[in-house]
């Protein structure tokens, strides 16, 4: 098991099977196995079950006669699903395991960006509370979010978890998602109606770059833009332009292409932008939740029953 796991689910896994636990995230430097390296490790441990988060599961791994593969992701894109299916190996996944965590990060970015929490914190730490002869009450006034309209682009597990949180804060929530009947707005309609636009879609051929200069121009003046999904969904240069001309009043971003933002990037110098390094799902609860999901599904599989979360159920037969 190279995925980070904890809590009652992890204890249950230890009762079900003999566990070799070596989480990738606790290594210094970080370790992510290639398919060849993972196959070598599995063979060395004489393992017939593997639970991964980031390691590549393909090629030689699929030739080892594994009883099951579990990937602690909603979309197990680190696993060759077709290859596993051809080899007759069940692939388990953990959809929604970080939905609450990412939804909470979305709310945190919204509040931090609209209430200018980071520059206010910097003034306190720097002894500049009364900077330039002004008082904080003058410099950090903002608009309340209650009574505003939030538009969610994507209404999967994270989008739904975000929806009820924002509703609880007094926002009217609308959504666009062609794959969810509860989302009743087209994208253009949503952009023209929302005071807050928050992205929660997966990156696909249809969604990559879906928010560009044209879409920013179609948004309401003074909109707040949030992206806790993937940076590939929006055009960063177009966002910078929209922030500079005031179309976008504030932004909160938890992801950057290549997991990196240069220190001289224009976004870095904007006090109305909050930047976090892809930590939306980084909670202990996420690790406990994915452990429980894997444990429950492995228990079902080992007992000859159908797991609740399996990507290729056809391998189980009729």
Contacts of 264 (CB under 8 A, 6+ apart): none
- Specify which residues 176 forms β-bridges with: 153
95 neighbors 286 (Cβ within 8 angstroms): no
Active site residue 278: yes
In the sheet with 248-253, reading across from the earlier edge strand, the strands are 172-176, 149-153, 196-199, 223-227, 248-253, 273-275
CA 164 – CA 40 distance, rounded (Å): 45
Active site residue 131: no
What does each C-alpha distance from 9 to 71, 138, 163, 220, 299 come to in angstroms? 15, 50, 28, 45, 11
CA 165 – CA 155 distance, rounded (Å): 13
CA 309 – CA 79 distance, rounded (Å): 15
- Specify which residues 197 forms β-bridges with: 151, 225
Annotated active-site residue in 200, 230, 289, 309: 230
What does each C-alpha distance from 65 to 13, 48, 62, 299 come to in angstroms? 20, 7, 7, 19
Q: Rounded to an integer, what is the distance from CA 113 to the centroid of its chain?
A: 19
Annotated active-site residue in 15, 125, 141, 259: 259
Q: Rounded to an integer, what is the distance from CA 95 to the centroid of its chain?
A: 11
Q: For residue 192, report the phi and psi dihedrals to the nearest 5 degrees.
A: -80, -10
Active site residue 230: yes
Matching residue, tokens 């940076």:
231
101 neighbors 280 (Cβ within 8 angstroms): yes
Annotated active-site residue in 67, 193, 278, 299: 278
Active site residues: 230, 259, 278
């Amino acid at each position: 098991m190279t995925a980070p796991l904890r809590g009652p689910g992890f204890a249950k896994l230890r009762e079900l099977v003999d566990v070799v636990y070596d989480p990738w995230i606790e290594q210094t430097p970080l370790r992510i196995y290639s398919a060849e390296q993972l196959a070598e490790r599995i063979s060395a441990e004489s393992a017939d079950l593997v639970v991964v988060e980031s390691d590549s599961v393909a090629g030689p791994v699929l030739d080892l006669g594994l009883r099951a593969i579990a990937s602690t992701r909603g979309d197990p894109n680190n696993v060759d699903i077709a290859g596993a299916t051809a080899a007759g190996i069940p692939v388990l996944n953990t959809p929604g395991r970080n939905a609450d965590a990412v939804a909470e990060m979305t709310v945190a970015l919204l509040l931090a960006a609209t209430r200018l929490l980071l520059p206010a914190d910097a003034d306190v730490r720097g002894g500049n509370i009364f900077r330039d002869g002004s008082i904080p009450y003058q410099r950090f006034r903002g608009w309340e979010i209650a009574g505003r309209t939030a538009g969610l682009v994507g209404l999967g597990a994270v989008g739904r978890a975000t929806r009820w949180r924002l509703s609880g804060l007094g926002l009217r929530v609308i959504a666009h998602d062609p794959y969810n009947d509860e989302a009743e707005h087209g994208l253009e309609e949503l952009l023209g109606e929302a005071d807050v636009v928050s992205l929660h879609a997966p990156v696909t051929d249809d969604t990559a770059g879906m928010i560009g200069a044209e879409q920013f121009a179609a948004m309401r003046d003074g909109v707040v833009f949030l992206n806790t999904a993937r940076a590939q969904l929006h055009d960063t240069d177009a966002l910078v332009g929209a922030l500079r001309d005031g179309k976008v009043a504030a932004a909160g971003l938890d992801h950057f292409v290549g997991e990196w933002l240069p220190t001289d990037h224009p976004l870095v110098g904007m006090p109305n932008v909050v930047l976090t390094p892809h930590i939306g799902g980084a909670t202990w609860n996420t690790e406990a939740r994915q452990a429980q999901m894997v444990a429950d599904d492995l228990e079902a599989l080992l007992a000859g029953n159908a797991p609740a979360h399996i990507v290729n159920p056809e391998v189980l037969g009729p």
